[in-house]
Every structure is written in C-alpha cells, then in structure tokens.
Amino acid sequence: MTRNVRLATLAAVAILFVATEVDAQGQGDSPPATPKPRAVWKTRGEVFTLAFYPDGKTLAAGIGRIDKARVLGHKALGSPWGDFPGEIEVWDVANGKRVLLIEGDTPNGGLAFAPDGKHLIGCGGVYRKDETDFRNPKVGIIKVWDARNGKEMAEFAQSRIVTSLSFSPTAPLMATGCFDSKVTLWDMKSGTTAAVLKGHDKIVHTVVFSPDGKMLASGGYDEIIRLWNVATKELVAELNDPGPVGPGKSVDCLAFSPDGERLAAGTDQGVKIWDVPNRKRLRHIEGGWSTSLSFSANGQRLAWTDSEMQCVRWTDVATGKDEAKFAGHEKRIAGMAISPDGKTLATGSEDQTIRLWDLESWSLSLKDEGTSCQSSAVENPNFQSYFLQPQVMLRYCPPSVHSHPGSIHASFWRHRPCVDSLAWFSRLSP
C-alpha cells in the first residue's frame, strides 16, 4: 500500500469516526428549516405584543411610537428621561389591511382579547402628569376597549406598572402581574378583586393559568416560579434552580403544555422546561432572551422567541433540537402569537413590522398537529356572562366613551392614583 493510499484510508476512518460522534451527540442532523413569511406588514411603530382574535381573523398589535418620544424631565446629572406613546393596531389577517387604530397613549405591556371576543384588554403603565421622579415615574394601568370599534370602555389604575395578564380557561377570572411583586386575581363578573397573591419579593413579569384552570403560575425578577392553587389561593410549590442568582434565572414568560404536565419558562439565556407534578427541571434549551413562548397542541414542540438569533425557534421538547427557525426581522422579536387554529404564526419586532408565517406550508407540516398558545383567548361558553353586570365606573370617562344604562361615572381618577376595583360596562347591544 502506497503512502498516499494509507493517508487516504486514515482520513476516511477519521471522517467516519467524527461523523459517528457528531451524530451520537445529536449535532449531525439536518439543519433547522428556515420558512419564509407569507406576509410582511409595516406598522406605525415598534411592535411589543400581539394577540389573535378568538376566530383568528384579526390580529391586534401593541405599538410603541418611538418617533413621538417625549422628554418628561432630567436626571441629577442633566441627562433627559422620558416616554413614548402607545397605540394598538388591529389587522385583517386575510387581506393584510389595518382595520382599526386605537390611539391615546395605550398601555402595551400585555394585550389579550376577552374570551367572549367582544372586548380587548391591555395592561402596562403610563406616566403621572405631576411626576418628577424618574426612578418611579409610572402608574400601572389596565384598559378595556370595545373590540369592534376601539372605544375605551373602562380603566383601572394600580400604584405600579402592570406587566401581564391571563384569562382562566374554565372560570370568569383574570390574573395580572405587577411591579409591586403581587399577583392579582379579578372576578370578571363583578369587576372586583378576588384575591391578591403575595410571595414574590420582586417584579412579577408573567402569569399564566394551567389548561384545567386549577393552577396559576407566576414568575419574575426574583428568579422563582410560583405555583398557586386557584381555588384556595394558596402557594403550593416553588420551582427554583439551585445555585447562585444571576443571568439565566429571571423568569420573563411562562406557558403550560396542553396536558398541564410541563411548564416552559423563558429567561434571558434561553428556555427551561419543568416537570410540574414532580417539581423538577427537565431541560435547559440554551439561547438568547425569550419574552414569548407557546407549546404545540400535542406538547411535543415549543415555539419561543430568541433575541440573539432574532427569530422564533420551533424546538423538539424531548431532544432540545430546533426543527425550524422563523427568521427575517432586522431587530429583536418582542411579540409572538399563534392563531387559534394553529395554522398561522405571527411575529412582531422592534423593526416596526409584523410577519405572518404559514405553519402548514413547510416540511414539518403542522396541519394535523396544531398549536396551542397560552395567551390567546378562545371561545368558551363559561364566559358568556362576561361584562353583563352594570357596575360603578371608578374613573372619569371622556364624553366620547359610549355608556350604557346602569353605568355610573365618578371622577375618582382625578383625585387618587389607585383604586381598588375594576369596573366593567354592560355588554354592547348587537
């Protein structure tokens, strides 16, 4: 055997060995699919949050108008600080036209359609007009709009920024997280506080109900996921990684699997999957900051935003391998939503665009699998009583707001920054 033949043989053996090792480690598989968007919409500002209407025909987007940023004051060393107004755009998914624009400094920390489909709820924070301290300038706020015409119907204020909201799938309850480290449960029939859950000692970033509505998960800056019994309002478990605090442990978003057995947590260093019954962490899928995620309908896949890759990753939960990457935005993806029928993925970015992706058109065809987005409202007969009870309105409403018989206006909002009940208007007439 000549020297060249021996070298060639050794090289072939080495290549075979390396290939075998790579495949054994799960890295020799085909690269993730890279689908193309079926539509790209230009928005009026940066997109922070997205929510599909229950029938999937329209999509609401919380927008930040960076071009209208305003200076509200100056720090001790003279540098300015300020804010920018928010808006909500509602788009027709079929034709790509904006069908509704809600202006007026809308909150964009969280956005969801009420399960009855008639109202749109937003949460966040707005600056107090007389605020001079840039370290704590915002008052928390929850707003309710008529989903058909965008008219403001109700408003609620809290002392700190409201970060997130979630609707129970089985009862007329809404949960909210807040900068004050508290989780609040709202009775949606009476518009009053059902319970205030205390346990976190820092900002609560995210709240989500389990699919059976019996459990509520919350997470935030204190790096601990807390599980609450909705019926008893008691803390039943804490999910916490061992080791020192630091990067990769702050909880920014949560989603239950459809069977409620798994809980996915988005962090600033990827996603962690937890076994809920056994209170154990199953997997850490490394990556960038994730602010939105959702399981597929069978619980085997996870869609989640990755700020480093500027994409939504479609990951096999069991192996941690990406099967697809929905990329194309020029800046960070801040919002993500999957349509109720599981056929469309919507992504919103700081690049001021919304992109729609057809989940049936690529090689992993999800036609039979479908998806399940925890933050998407769905039709449910249990919610037909939403907004039926006329309540006292604890806020001054502009004359343009359409009121209904039995609704009373009071001007407490002008005199105090925080009220203790959430008032809903009666259902709009057909």
Task: Give yes or no for a contact between 59 and 47, defined as CB atoms under 8 angstroms apart.
Answer: no
23/346: higher pLDDT: 346
Indicate if the pLDDT at residue 52 is higher than 50.
Answer: yes
pLDDT of residue 430: 29
Distance CA 363, CA 268 (A): 30
Residues 248-293 have pLDDT tens digits of 578 999 999 999 999 999 998 899 999 999 999 999 999 999 999 9
Residues 82-107 have pLDDT tens digits of 667 789 999 999 999 999 999 977 88
421/3: higher pLDDT: 3
pLDDT of residue 384: 35
Where along the chain do its domains lie? Answer: 31-414
Indicate if the pLDDT at residue 213 is higher than 90.
Answer: yes
pLDDT of residue 149: 94
CATH for the stretch 31-414: 2.130.10.10
Residues 366-409 have pLDDT tens digits of 433 444 433 333 333 333 333 323 232 222 222 222 222 222 22
25/160: higher pLDDT: 160
230/5: higher pLDDT: 230
pTM of the predicted protein model: 0.76
| β-pair partners for 327 | 311
Residue type, 65: R
Closest CA to 154 of 429, 406, 392: 392
Distances (CA, A) of 152 to 81, 120, 155, 266: 28, 9, 8, 32
Tokens coding 182 = 């508290």
> Per mean pLDDT, which range of 71-75, 187-191, 192-196 is the poorest?
71-75
Indicate if the pLDDT at residue 6 is higher than 90.
Answer: no
